Structure 1
């Protein structure tokens, strides 16, 4: 139940829709098992609990008119803040009841995505956006990827450096060189995680057919948001790959990625997107077949090695944050 979720989950920013999915009609979406309706007005994007307080009909069945969301059942009209501004069946001389409000959530639109927070967001936008604003970066949106897997399983797979040589052999790794050098995981004062640099030989590091020793750094910003920083010290090429998971149900998720690169700025993005699509399909086979489906937070439930330090730290942070959605 949504009421059982920890503040760490409720206060996060989550991607919920592509901007192109939200046009002139209200659109429903699910996040953490909760039904939400999104709609546009001249002031921007808005998100409400997808329920009219009058008789429990989804507001997503309604329409948007004059910057107001109109319930399809009895025509109640709500402004962008959730206030009911008109009840057609109520005589004009009577005041609208104070309780006639929609449950509104914080909602913003950035980088081709509509974002929502179900609680009190930690800032006006996701923390990692500051890493996207470097002037020498070209940012490209990838996804969404519909995955029949728990959100924490998807994030942990993203953070798993030792699977590159087998799941992505010939691209991100070579099974003849499977050893992972020891590394540490560091935690800052906000609870974000960051690995030391990990050097990995890659036959095709990003879809351009170039083999190299890539330098990896993994970061975790929240329960469902992580990043990979990949660099080549020989030529200064570097990119940030951000993973943002929309946990829909405990075993169903929608993943999005933002890639910010400092090279081939004028090149078409199609090749980079196609390469990531290939990687996701390779990962899909693993995350959709893992058992148990929910990520175990008890470190005794599975066997761990030194190369799994980031996975261990991520599970420990989930437990500290009180995350029960998608975990066991």
Structure 2
């Protein structure tokens, strides 16, 4: 197969191949950088017109383009100095500068965008834009990036963990809940405009963001895309709003990279590191659970595990993945 041909990803999934995947933070792309998506190695680099993603192979001799450099808005191969523009077209072959450039002298390029401080890539043809995170688009909110978190678990398992409200009192006891307040109020899940959205779920939290302030928070969860989800929680005064968008990118079999985009409309005077350290601690607690779960893949057969009413969002998520036809990370 030619290096110019569309390639079946190592983790072949008919749905996820057309999804946007977060592969790096914008700050990471100061030079050509190798990233991985669905088991495929790409190079992400920046020019004056934006960010670009190519297959991390030069068509000439199969060298990793991520070892190269950017010069005059071109990605330069480290082996023989071939220059590639943002569309992947070779513009210069130094060994024969006065001869026509072969039409096959191209890098295979992928859709690539920068949004919410992250670099997003799709290996296919996305039918929609990068998932919208409304709070992060609001000028009244302050946003930070947490991660990447590399975890030896399947991406749908990581997503379902994020969506599980009833684990907060046990896995994150003393922070996001306490066992004495374990009862989950009745709620329902609705499908709206291609997303899953819950009713408001009220949870008592003794220290929900690391500030040491207990509060009853009203949660609303949303499943935006198969591997992109968010919650928004509002305090009992209706003033402090905190939201997280979590995205998981499958790197390889049972290996996932997660980024959390945190945004808030309060505490602007506080050090962002306080919030990022708190999020790191929460993810570490979740990781212990994730690594213990069997099967490693998320079961889409609802008879495979026992479910109760508080699992309604997890049930809806599993049904949604099944109906979409997702194959990677599920059983």
Instruction: With the length of structure 1 as denominator, give the TM-score of the two structures.
Output: 0.93
Residue 5 of structure 1, CA deviation: 3.9
1:94-136 Cα distance to aligned partner (Å, 9 max, x none): x32222211111212233322212222344x523233321222
1:137-170 Cα distance to aligned partner (Å, 9 max, x none): 1112212212111111110000001111110011
Residue 181 of structure 2 corresponds to residue 174 of structure 1: no
Structure-to-structure mapping, 1:50-69, within 5 angstroms: 50-69=56-75
Aligned-CA RMSD value: 1.8
**Contact 1:8-1:321 within 8 A present in 2 as well:** yes
**Contact 2:197-2:222 within 8 A present in 1 as well:** yes
Identify the residue that residue 152 of structure 1 maps to in structure 2. 156
Residue 99 of structure 2 corresponds to residue 97 of structure 1: no
Structure-to-structure mapping, 1:157-306, within 5 angstroms: 157-190=161-194, 192-306=195-309
Matches of 2:62 and 2:168 in 1, distance apart?
A: 48
Change in CA separation of 1:276 and 1:3 when aligned onto 2, cut-off 3 Å: closer
Identify the residue that residue 15 of structure 2 maps to in structure 1. 8
1:161-203 Cα distance to aligned partner (Å, 9 max, x none): 111111001111111221212211100132x101111111111
Residue 279 of structure 1, CA deviation: 0.5
Identify the residue that residue 79 of structure 1 maps to in structure 2. 85
Aligned-partner SS, 2:133: helix
**Contact 2:216-2:236 within 8 A present in 1 as well:** no
Instruction: With the length of structure 2 as denominator, give the TM-score of the two structures.
Output: 0.92
**Contact 1:7-1:119 within 8 A present in 2 as well:** no
Gaps of 5+ in 1: none
1:283-305 Cα distance to aligned partner (Å, 9 max, x none): 11011221111111111111111
Residue 142 of structure 2 corresponds to residue 138 of structure 1: yes
Q: After the TM superposition, which parts of structure 1 deviate over 6 Å for at least 4 consecutive aligned residues?
A: none
Identify the residue that residue 121 of structure 1 maps to in structure 2. 126
